[in-house]
Amino acid sequence: MQFNSFQYIFLLFITVGIYYLLPLLGQKLLLVIVSFGFYMAWNVKYSLLMATVILLTYFAAIFMIKKPQYKRLLFFGSLLSVLGLLFYFKYFNFFLDTLNQVFGANFSMLNIILPVGISFYVFQSIGYLADVYTNNEECEKSLLNYALFISFFPQLVAGPIERSKNMLTQFNTKQVFDVQNIKNGLTLVLVGLVQKVVIADRLALYVNAVFANYQQASRAALIVAVVFFAFQVYCDFNAYSLIAIGSAKTMGYTLMRNFNHPYLSRSFAEYWSRWHISLSTWFQDYIFTPFVWTNPLKKLGKFFTAPPMVLGLLLVFTVSGFWHGASWTFVVWGLLHGAFRIFEALTAKAKKKFYKKHAIRPNHPILVVVEVAIVFLLNCFTYVFFRADSMGQAVGYIKGILFGTGTNGIYSDVLGVKPGEITLCFVIIGALVLLEILGEIFCKNISFDVILQQKNVVVQSVVYAALLLILVVFGMYGVSYVENPFIYFQF
């Protein structure tokens, strides 16, 4: 059941309609039932997998508190167990394929279907285990609360990856009907639907066509397609996050913000503090910080005595690449981001001295624009690997940009995309960039729904009407586009 489907909107309205009529216990039971039903819409059997993760991590945390002498064993045992499940379903065939290629083996691939959202709820459960391991007060006694924390349907499939200290306390409070919450939540859902159905799915037409015909596409088409993909993946994932946050808000719950104008970042450090914030902070708290403090690799030799920060960044971005998918293209994407981030860290002092020596103001408008452009273009380069189906396609795509001789231009009949659609994509991106800049200047840390609710009823009505009109008129509907999957559902 996709977020951009009528079935989901119907499910949300029915759930909210019943939800506020129930006492606290009834609210939680309803949400657990709906959440499991929502997940079973993809695959009934894999709801058992999610239930296994819930029970395993719940009881591991309980016994960590009851049996402190076995705390370390319980933590690492449960950690390896859930990671083992993730490895089997997401990486086992990749592992076999790698063995076949490297050693000339002939292992047969297993018929494994990747459970939707497994990376998200596994990481959320690991975060909970780590919190309990380091802080006994974080242990949740109620199995119902914990099951809801892991399975909560708005953020189950693609995040945000929530923290137990944020959500579990909210689940212990009866949510009462609040018109403001309903309006704020539905505003975010509506904005998310516009970003997904109007922008992301429209950009996907051209992106898919160019990547499928990259050998015949011109240099200009290749460049435009990867820029389009940058905005496609942003609008696609931000749309999911907005719909998830908005859906939760209609029931009185607050999920963390997942994006904050990331393409206006002046460095990759800033970019990763604005992009997929829930995952970035998860890596920061549960991998990078513990690693830097302990540097467990220093016992392996001189190479591993390099600055822990450098090794920590390399580890985080390698894990990030693997987390996104069982393919070497994602690993390369992660390593490229790691290399850019490490380069920034190692040259930060020299850069600061250079600016001071030449009396360059760090916030000079021209410098800001140049730095934002450099980060965005380097990001687009990494997106070639993120979007490519194989390393061969990624390398061929880059060769096409560097040495391509295609003369068909951007508007090529070979691509099968109408010129009007391509032109509309340019207009939409221009409007999106303008809105992002205005948002950065005037409301960087305030969400759109809050700003809108501060306006009078006339302004609100006009905005709602405009969003609905845009969604209906410019939305990508029909046989080929209905319920177009969100990109991050595959992770």
Count other C-beta atoms under 10 Å from residue 306's C-beta.
13
Q: Which pair of structure tokens corresponds to residue 176?
A: 């009462």
Residue 216 has pLDDT above 90, yes or no: no
* Better-scored residue on pLDDT, 41 or 53: 53
- Contact yes or no for 3/146 (Cβ under 8 A): no
Q: Which of 74, 73, 77, 50 is nearest to 62 (CA)?
A: 74
| C-alpha span between 13 and 373 (Å, rounded) | 42
Residue 480 has pLDDT above 60, yes or no: no
Q: Which of 486, 488, 487 is nearest to 5 (CA)?
A: 486
- For 348-400, the pLDDT digits (tens) are 899 999 988 888 888 889 999 999 999 999 999 999 999 999 999 999 999 99
Per-residue confidence band for 80, with pLDDT thresholds at 50, 70 and 90:
very high
pLDDT at 296: 63
Q: Which pair of structure tokens corresponds to residue 294?
A: 């302990």
- Contact yes or no for 94/326 (Cβ under 8 A): yes
| C-alpha span between 267 and 272 (Å, rounded) | 9
Q: Which pair of structure tokens corresponds to residue 30?
A: 């309803």
Q: Which pair of structure tokens corresponds to residue 474?
A: 């410019």
Q: What is the DSSP letter of 119?
A: H
Per-residue confidence band for 455, with pLDDT thresholds at 50, 70 and 90:
confident
Residue 230 has pLDDT above 50, yes or no: yes
Q: Which residue reads 């996907």 in tokens?
A: 204
Q: Which pair of structure tokens corresponds to residue 226?
A: 């990867």
Amino acid symbol at 40: M
pLDDT at 83: 95
* Alpha-carbon dihedral angle through residues 402, 403, 407, 413, given to the nearest 10 degrees: -70
What percent of the chain has a predicted confidence (pLDDT) above 70?
94
Mean pLDDT lowest for which of 57-66, 121-130, 284-293? Answer: 284-293
Catalytic residue from among 276, 324, 358, 364:
324
Task: Please confirm, yes or no, whether 324 is among the known catalytic residues.
Answer: yes
Using DSSP, state whether 298 is helix, strand or coil: helix
Mean pLDDT lowest for which of 276-285, 394-403, 472-481? Answer: 472-481
Buried b (16+ CB within 10 A) or exposed e, 139-148: bbeeeebbbb
pLDDT at 136: 63
pLDDT at 294: 73
In sequence order, the 6+-apart residues with CB closer than 8 A to the CB of 363 are none
| C-alpha span between 255 and 361 (Å, rounded) | 37
Average predicted confidence (pLDDT) for the chain:
89
Mean pLDDT lowest for which of 19-33, 34-48, 400-414? Answer: 400-414
Residue 155 has pLDDT above 50, yes or no: yes
| C-alpha span between 231 and 262 (Å, rounded) | 11
| C-alpha span between 424 and 431 (Å, rounded) | 11
| C-alpha span between 240 and 124 (Å, rounded) | 17
Q: What is the DSSP letter of 483?
A: T
Per-residue confidence band for 301, with pLDDT thresholds at 50, 70 and 90:
low
Residue 482 has pLDDT above 50, yes or no: no
Q: What is the mean pLDDT of residues 314-341?
A: 93
Q: Which residue reads 């460095």 in tokens?
A: 267
Helical segments of 141-178, H only:
143-151, 153-156, 164-171
Residue 487 has pLDDT above 80, yes or no: no
Mean pLDDT lowest for which of 101-115, 439-453, 461-475? Answer: 439-453
- CA 379 to mean position of chain CA atoms: 16
Q: Which pair of structure tokens corresponds to residue 256?
A: 């963390």
pLDDT at 300: 59
- For 243-278, the pLDDT digits (tens) are 999 999 999 999 999 999 999 999 999 999 999 999
Q: Which pair of structure tokens corresponds to residue 33?
A: 């039932």
Residue 101 has pLDDT above 90, yes or no: no
